[in-house]
Structure 1
Amino acid sequence: MTMITAWAMAGSALVAAAAPALAADATLKIESWRNDDLQIWQEKIIPDFEKSHPGIKVTFQPTAPKEYNAALNSKLDAGTAGDIIACRPFDASLELFKKGQLTSVNDIAGMSNFSDVAKAGWSTDDGKTSFCVPVAAVLHGFIYNKDAFAKVGIKDVPKTDEEFFADLDKIKKDGTYVPLAMGTPDQWEAATMGYQNIGPNYWKGEDGRAALIAGKEKLTDEAWVAPFKELAKWGAYMGDGFKAQSYPDSQNMFTLGRAAIYPAGSWEIAQFQSQAQFPMGAFPPPVPKAGDPCYVSDHPDIAFGMNAKTKSPEAAKTFLTWVASPEFAKLYANALPGFFSLQSQPVPTDNALAKEFVGFRDSCKSTMRSTYQMLSRGTPNLENETWVESANVINGTDTPEQAAAKLQKGLDSWYKPGK
C-alpha cells in the first residue's frame, strides 16, 4: 500500500477530483484466539506497526480459544469478520482457503524468509500455495513454582512418570499447594496441555503421528490409549472444584502461588511473568520409564492471513508484509517470549524461562499435535472430539478405553487413509 504522506494529505481538491487518491486511511481489525495477548498487542505490537505505517490503524479483537473457530466461521460466512485472520495450522485454515475466505499469500514480500517446513502448516497439500504468513511455534511442557518445590523438598524436576506422580503425591501430602493447576470445563486444555503434551512420549512423536494418518495405527492401540490412562490419574491432583475451573481460573491459581505445577504451553510465559511473584522453571513431559527417548510437542501455532472480503486489501497486504519481516519476528518473539519464530534466521531470546522451553529441543525430538493435519477435516472433527474425551477421562465419565474407541469410531466414519 502506498502510504499517505504530507503532500498527499495537503493535495488540492482539484487533484483529488481528477484522479483516485493514491491511498486512503484504513483501519484493520485482527481476529485471533489469543485473548491473553490483548494487552501486549495494544501496548507493544500495534504501536510499533502504526508508528512506521501512519496511514493504517489496527485493532485487535480476540475471541476465547474454545469459541474461536465457530465464531470466526460464522463471521466469515456473514461477511462481518475482520481484515486479518489469525490462522490455526493445517486443516481448519486450509478449509477456509478452500472456501475462498482466505487469499493466497505467495506474493507477499518476505515469504522467502520461511522454509517449506515452516510454511507447511498453512499451505495446500501440494505445497504450491500458502494462505497465511507463518509467525510462531509453541512448545509444550510443565511450568512449576520453584518455591513450592523447595517447600516440599523436591530437588530435581521429574524425568519419568513414576517421578512425576511421586512429586505430585509429595505436594498433595504437604497440603500447601494444589499439585496441578488445570480444570476441565473448557475442555481444550485437557487435550492441548494434557493429552497432546504427554502423548508423544507414548506414540513416538512423528513416527506415531504419521502412522495414524496412514492408517497403520489406530487410536485404540495402546500407544494412543496410554496417555489417556495417565490423564485419568490427574484429577486426584487438580484440587477441589476442578470440574468447574475455567482456563483463567487455572492461570490465576498458579500465578497467585496456590498451585505447584501448571501443565503448560510456552505461550503462558509473558502473562505468568507479569503476574507471578515467585521464581518459575519448566520441564518437558516426563518419559514413561527411565531410558525412553523424549518427544516434545513443538507445534506450529499461529500465522496471519487476509480475509478475502476485506475492504482494505492493500492495507492488509502491507500488514502481512510487515508480519513476514525480520523486524516483526524480533518484536513478536521478545514481546511474547515463548512464541518461537518460524523464520529461517534464528531470533534469539533473552528470557530465561523461554530459553528453558526452547532447550527441550536439545534433549527431545520435536513433533506436532496429532489431530491437526488431515485428521480434522471431517465430521466429527477429531481435534474437537479429543478435547471432549480428554476432559471426560480426567472427570472420570469415560474410561481411557472408551474415550479411544469413541475417537476412532468418529474418525472411521469419514476418514479413509490414503484417499
Structure 2
Amino acid sequence: MKRTIQFALLSSTMLAGAATAQTTLTIESWRNDDLQIWQQTIIPAFEAAHPDIKVVFSPSAPAEYNAVLNSKLDAGSAGDLITCRPFDASLELFNKGSLADLTDLPAMANFSDVAKSAWQTDDGSATFCVPMASVIHGFIYNKTAFEELGLTPPKTVDEFYSVLDAIKADGNYIPMAMGTADQWEAATMAYQNIGPTYWKGEEGRRALIAGEQKLTEEGWVEPFRQLARWKDYLGDGFEAQTYPDSQNLFTLGRAAIYPAGSWEIGVFTPQIDGAFEMGAFAPPVAAEGDTCYISDHTDIALGLNAASPNAEAARTFLEWTGSPEFATLYANALPGFFSLNSTPVEMTDPLAQDFVSWRSSCEPTIRSTYQILSRGTPNLENETWNASANVIRGTETPEAAAERLQSGLASWYEPQK
C-alpha cells in the first residue's frame, strides 16, 4: 500500500510538472529603453495566448550591442531571438550562419518587398529577420512658438528659410536645435532628412549603388549646400552642442524647430509633459508642386539564432511578431516606430499620426548609405557623419565634402571606379 501511495504521488507530481512545463525564450536587443514596454505590454500579450512559452527580454547598451552579441554568438550563449539592425550588420550574421533563414515563415507574407529588403540577401532569395518597424525623418516644431509668431509649417524650401528668419528676428527662440559635436545627427537628421528631395529618393539611391550616379553630382551636392545655410539658425555654440543638449533645448521650450527622427516622439512627450504642443512637418520640397520625399527608414526586425535549442517555440513567437496584433501593440506602445506590416495600424498618438500621414503624399526611401555602400573602408556612413558636420560648421565646402566622399567610395566600390 505504501509503495502504491508513493507511486501515485510521484505520478501526480510528474503530471503537474508536465502541465506547467514551459519553454523559455530570450530576446537579445539594443533597445534597453524599451525594457518596460516589453515586460508590461508586449510579452504579456504573447504569453496569454501561449502559456507554454515564457519570454525574457534581455537588452544590452546600444553602443555595445554588436560586440556583445557577436561574442555571445561565438561562445554559444546568445539568446534564442536576435533583434536585427538593418542591412549589412544582420546580413553578415546570416552569412556567418548565426541567423536562420526565415523565408518560409508564413507571416512573411504580411510584408512588402521593400519592408523585407533590409533583412534579405542582396539577391532577395533569403529573408532572415521579421520586419518590426521603421522610423521617419522630418521636423518637429513647437506649435505654441509658431502661434505666438504667427507662423505656419513650411512646405517649400523658400518658406522654410522665411520661417527660420522670422524666428531668428524675434529673438525669443533658437530657430533650430541641432549641434555638430556628435556628428551622426548632422548626417542622420540633416543630410539624410532633406537629401532625398534632391537625389529623388530611391531613384538616386539605387543609381548610386549601380554606379550610374556619383556623389559629386548635383543631386548629392545640393543637400550639403542647404546644410551650409543652417549654420546661421542653430544658435551660439552649436559646434560643441551634443545630441542630448539639442534634445534639452527643444523640450525646455528654448528652440522652435528640431530636425528629427520619429523616435523622438516617445522621448519628448513625457519630458514636455504638456508645457507646449508639438507638431511635425515633412522635409520641404524645392518648389510648390514638386514630389515630396521622406526617409522612411527600415530600422528594426527580429531574427532566430540558428543555434537556438528552442527553434520551434522561437518560430511561434516570430510568427506572432509578423501579425497585425503585434503591429498594433508595438506601434502604439512605441509611438514613432511605425509598423512595416502591410495591414494598416491605427495609432493614437497625434504626433505619430502627423509623421505617418506623409506616407500617403510622399515617396518613401531609406538612408542612402545603409545598403551595400558602407561595407568597405572608408565607411561611407561614418564619413557622411563627418562631412555633414564639417559642412554645417563651415570647415569644409559642400563641393569638397562631396568630392572626398566620392573618392573614398570609389577607392573600394567597383561600380564607382
TM-score between the two structures when normalised by the length of structure 2: 0.87
Deviation at 1:197?
0.5
1:104 lines up with 2:101 in the alignment: yes
Counterparts of 2:402 and 2:19 in 1: how far apart (Å)?
60
Q: Which runs of 5+ in 1 are unaligned?
A: 1-9
1:165 lines up with 2:178 in the alignment: no
Deviation at 1:81?
4.5
Instruction: Label 1:243 to 1:81 Cα distance change in 2 as closer, same or farther (>3 A).
Output: farther
Task: Indicate the residue corresponding to 2:378 in structure 1.
Answer: 380
1:164-217 deviations in whole A, cap 9, x for unaligned? Answer: 122122222322222212222332221111111100111111211121111111
SS at match of 1:110: helix
Counterparts of 2:253 and 2:396 in 1: how far apart (Å)?
31
1:151 lines up with 2:148 in the alignment: yes
Task: Indicate the residue corresponding to 1:240 in structure 2.
Answer: 236
Counterparts of 2:11 and 2:180 in 1: how far apart (Å)?
59
Question: Is the 1:28–1:312 contact (alpha carbons within 8 Å) kept by the matching residues of 2?
Answer: no
Instruction: Label 1:347 to 1:310 Cα distance change in 2 as closer, same or farther (>3 A).
Output: same
SS at match of 2:91: helix
Question: Is the 1:56–1:315 contact (alpha carbons within 8 Å) kept by the matching residues of 2?
Answer: no
Question: Is the 2:410–2:416 contact (alpha carbons within 8 Å) kept by the matching residues of 1?
Answer: no
Task: Indicate the residue corresponding to 1:49 in structure 2.
Answer: 46
Identity, % of aligned positions: 64
1:119-143 deviations in whole A, cap 9, x for unaligned? Answer: 2221112222111001122221111
Name which of 119, 143, 148 aligns with 2:116: 119
Task: Indicate the residue corresponding to 1:304 in structure 2.
Answer: 302
The AA in structure 2 aligned to 1:207 is E
Counterparts of 1:380 and 1:309 in 2: how far apart (Å)?
33
Task: Indicate the residue corresponding to 1:250 in structure 2.
Answer: 246
Counterparts of 2:108 and 2:327 in 1: how far apart (Å)?
13
Question: Is the 1:137–1:342 contact (alpha carbons within 8 Å) kept by the matching residues of 2?
Answer: yes
Deviation at 1:53?
4.0
Counterparts of 1:386 and 1:71 in 2: how far apart (Å)?
26
Superposed counterparts of 1:6-405, under 5 Å: 24-32=22-30, 34-54=31-51, 55-64=53-62, 68-69=65-66, 72-73=69-70, 76-77=73-74, 81-154=78-151, 156-276=152-272, 277=274, 278-310=276-308, 312-405=310-403
1:7-60 deviations in whole A, cap 9, x for unaligned? Answer: xxx97677899xx9996542513212x444344334322333344444413124
Name which of 408, 413, 417 aligns with 1:410: 408
SS at match of 1:232: helix
Task: Indicate the residue corresponding to 1:6 in structure 2.
Answer: none
Counterparts of 1:219 and 1:327 in 2: how far apart (Å)?
42
Counterparts of 2:237 and 2:68 in 1: how far apart (Å)?
28
Counterparts of 1:397 and 1:116 in 2: how far apart (Å)?
41
Counterparts of 2:256 and 2:115 in 1: how far apart (Å)?
34
The AA in structure 2 aligned to 1:152 is L
Question: Is the 1:28–1:59 contact (alpha carbons within 8 Å) kept by the matching residues of 2?
Answer: yes
Question: Is the 1:28–1:315 contact (alpha carbons within 8 Å) kept by the matching residues of 2?
Answer: no
Q: Which runs of 5+ in 2 are unaligned?
A: 1-9
Instruction: Label 1:120 to 1:23 Cα distance change in 2 as closer, same or farther (>3 A).
Output: farther
Q: How many residues align?
A: 405
Range moving further from structure 2, 215-224 or 97-106:
97-106
Instruction: Label 1:74 to 1:376 Cα distance change in 2 as closer, same or farther (>3 A).
Output: farther
Deviation at 1:252?
2.7
TM-score between the two structures when normalised by the length of structure 1: 0.87
Larger radius of gyration: 2
The AA in structure 2 aligned to 1:404 is A
Question: Is the 1:134–1:302 contact (alpha carbons within 8 Å) kept by the matching residues of 2?
Answer: yes
Question: Is the 1:31–1:81 contact (alpha carbons within 8 Å) kept by the matching residues of 2?
Answer: no
Instruction: Label 1:260 to 1:57 Cα distance change in 2 as closer, same or farther (>3 A).
Output: same
Counterparts of 1:247 and 1:35 in 2: how far apart (Å)?
18
